[in-house]
Structure 1
Amino acid sequence: MGHSQAAKAESRERVLRIAARRIREEGMARPGVADLMKEAGLTHGGFYKHFDSRDDLINQAVTLALLDGETKMTEAARRNAEKPHLGLIDSYLSTRHRDAPGTGCALVTLGAAAGRAGAEIKEAYQDQVQSYLALLSETADDRAPDEARADAMLTLSALVGALLMSRAVADPQFSDQLLQTVTERLERTAGKV
């Protein structure tokens, strides 16, 4: 790849990463092309060298945002070698994760918008849900596959819901309580099986 092609690829990646962060912070409707290009240090006119349309950019940025979360979930599971399930729960329901929506799990920030989006975004969202369910099922203690998947569905729903609510409430103490209580209950449940 020549220098100009490498620079173009680097610029495109920078725009995608900025868009993925901004989408998690503000939603899919919010970031405008001009703002994204400016933040990336590029001109608005150069946008079409990288993307066919704003929808093309948003679709790719959503996919990237969702995949970023998978990498972080996998890393979190590795933090507790004996009980990867618990490492995942602790990391996901941390105040650090709550306070960083721009780099956090896109399942939380994109859920409602993905439900109203087109097929491409819904498929990307579904793929990520399936991937998380597989990871949670794999990290569960020895259980029958159907039971592990059912528990994974419950756990993922609790993780996403608790994080969403902890970000949405006004009282910081109540926000912390939501995270702490759901963490304790999920860990207790995981320890029983």
Structure 2
Amino acid sequence: MGHSQAAKAESRERVLRIAARRIREEGMTAPGVADLMKEAGLTHGGFYKHFASRDELMVQAAALALEDGEAKMAEAARRDPDEPRTGLIDAYLSARHRDAPGTGCALVTLGSAAGRGATEMKEAYEKQVRGYLDLIGEAGQGDDPEETRADAMVTLSAMVGAILMSRAVADPQLSDELLKTVAERLKHPAPTV
């Protein structure tokens, strides 16, 4: 790859990374092309050298944001080899994750957009849901595959929902309580009656 092609690829990657961060922070509709290009240190006119349309950029940036989240979850599971599920839950349901949506899990911010989006968007979202389910299932300690899968679905749904709600409420104490309570219940389920 020549110097100009390498520079072009680097610029494209920079725009994608910025767009991925911005859609995690603001959702799919907020970041405009002009703002993204300016933040990347590029001209608005240069956008079409990299992408056919804003929609193409948004789908690719969403896929990148989703992939980044899965990598972080896998890293959290590896922190404590004896308790990978606890590591996942603690990392996901943390104040740090809640307070940094730009680097956080895109499942939280992209759920409704994926639900209304094009097939490519739904497929990218689904790929990451499946990846998280596999990761959570592998971190569990069950012998029954159906029960392990069901537990992974409940765990993922609870974690995504808790982060979403903890970011959306105005009361900081309730926000903290949501994270703490859901984390504790996922790690230590209440006995069934």
TM-score relative to the length of structure 1? 0.97
**Structure 2 counterparts to residues 12-161 of structure 1, below 5 A:** 12-161=12-161
Secondary structure at 2:141 match in 1:
coil
User: CA separation in 1, counterparts of 2:43 and 2:62?
Assistant: 22
Secondary structure at 1:189 match in 2:
coil
User: CA separation in 1, counterparts of 2:101 and 2:186?
Assistant: 22
Partner of 1:186: 186
- Displacement of 1:143 in angstroms is 2.1
Secondary structure at 2:101 match in 1:
coil
- Displacement of 1:157 in angstroms is 0.4
Secondary structure at 2:185 match in 1:
helix
User: CA separation in 1, counterparts of 2:87 and 2:113?
Assistant: 29
Cα offsets for 1:42-74 (capped at 9, x unmatched): 001111110011111001000000000000000
User: CA separation in 2, counterparts of 1:160 and 1:184?
Assistant: 15
- Displacement of 1:17 in angstroms is 0.2
User: CA separation in 2, counterparts of 1:101 and 1:176?
Assistant: 16
Quote the sequence identity (%): 74
- Displacement of 1:18 in angstroms is 0.3
User: CA separation in 1, counterparts of 2:10 and 2:128?
Assistant: 25
User: CA separation in 1, counterparts of 2:86 and 2:122?
Assistant: 29
User: CA separation in 1, counterparts of 2:59 and 2:121?
Assistant: 6
- Displacement of 1:38 in angstroms is 0.4
- Displacement of 1:142 in angstroms is 3.4
User: CA separation in 2, counterparts of 1:143 and 1:14?
Assistant: 44
- Displacement of 1:174 in angstroms is 0.6
User: CA separation in 2, counterparts of 1:96 and 1:28?
Assistant: 22
Runs of 4+ in 1 over 4 A off after TM superposition: none
Partner of 1:6: 6
Cα offsets for 1:73-106 (capped at 9, x unmatched): 0000011110100000000000000000001000
| Cα RMSD after superposing both structures | 1.0
User: CA separation in 1, counterparts of 2:31 and 2:122?
Assistant: 19
- Displacement of 1:179 in angstroms is 0.3
TM-score relative to the length of structure 2? 0.97
User: CA separation in 2, counterparts of 1:4 and 1:147?
Assistant: 53
Unmatched 5+ residue regions in structure 2?
none
Partner of 2:168: 168
- Displacement of 1:189 in angstroms is 2.9
The residue type paired with residue 50 of structure 1 is H
Unmatched 5+ residue regions in structure 1?
none
User: CA separation in 2, counterparts of 1:143 and 1:115?
Assistant: 33
